[in-house]
Amino acid sequence: MAVVLPFDPAADIAAEPSLEGIVSLVRSDMDRVNALILSRTGSDVTMIPEVATHLISSGGKRLRPMLTLATADLSGYRGEGDIKLAASVEFMHTATLLHDDVVDDSEMRRGKLAARMLWGNEASVLVGDFLLGQAFRMMIEVGSMQALDILSSAAVVIAEGEVAQLAAAKNTATSEDEYLAVIRGKTAELFAAACEVGPVLGNRPKTEQAACRSYGMNLGIAFQLIDDALDYGGSGAKLGKNVGDDFREGKITLPVLLAFRRGTEEERSFWRRCLEQGEVGEGDLEHAMELLAAHQSIAATVERARHYGAIAKDALGLFPDGPAKQALLDTVEFCISRAR
């Protein structure tokens, strides 16, 4: 005998992952963070607020400072320090973007002209330095030596990661392990530090501090791997830059590494010509995308991102269920869903 079940089309469609959970959780605190950010970009040197505000107000998600606020909430912290540390984290991130665009000769950032295109490379680098200085001033004002140690150590690791990326650039012999080490430094370290300072402020046990750091580190790796995939299979709107920029700049990312190793010698010669020798002609980007599709490199990169996302979620198992924990879990799903 057949059993007829009622069909609800709405129930058949899974809700799209979003940041609404974490945005709602920290909305009032983020208003204070944003006000602090704007106040700390002020300077008698007119160009400083102009350059800083151009990037800061250009529509970034503010994910990293939201993670600081959410992990502080998760840890039961009820003071004021998380506001200044969240703003410090955003200033550190903004400074790295200003510096990266100079290093990479990028023309676009978050869908707008990069600051270097409007004010020049020198101004972009120096305003980035100004923001780093303001970040460290706010860290000191919070008065937590441990939080200062975590974020200042992150600044060192991020710089090392950027230099390591330069060393790996245009080098098709880079291994997957070497590449993962680069993105742990240049991207995931700030995620990890942003999450670790929350339970530090809450004076939580070392196990909870380590758990939040693990969550941030693995979320950061997943986030960067999805960015790698989007550069070849996404849209400019999702990336905030031109699709194919990594290819044109000769960057070695995971999709390329996988296609290179899985390809024929003829295909490897193509990658060497384009990435190592910088000889990119008309139709080469399209051919690169065809090779990535043929070797399922994008799908494999997304699968690896899911793996790190799962580790990030498991790291929160120490904490009791609640709005903060759920918001952090949902954030992992959102970051990975960008590849859809």
Q: How far apart are CA 141 and CA 54, in angstroms?
A: 26
Q: How far apart are CA 69 and CA 324, in angstroms?
A: 10
Which tens digit of pLDDT belongs to each residue from 152-168? Answer: 999 999 999 999 988 88
pLDDT at 203 over 70: yes
Which tens digit of pLDDT belongs to each residue from 277-333? Answer: 999 999 999 999 999 999 999 999 999 999 999 999 999 999 999 999 999 999 999
The phi-psi region of residue 255 (left if phi > 0; otherwise alpha if psi is between -120 and 50; otherwise beta) is alpha
Q: What is the mean pLDDT of residues 247-254?
A: 92
Q: What pLDDT is stored for residue 241 in this prediction?
A: 57
Q: What pLDDT is stored for residue 168 in this prediction?
A: 86
Q: What pLDDT is stored for residue 235 in this prediction?
A: 52
Sorted by where each starts, the structural domains of the chain and their CATH numbers stand as 18-337 (1.10.600.10)
Q: What pLDDT is stored for residue 3 in this prediction?
A: 37
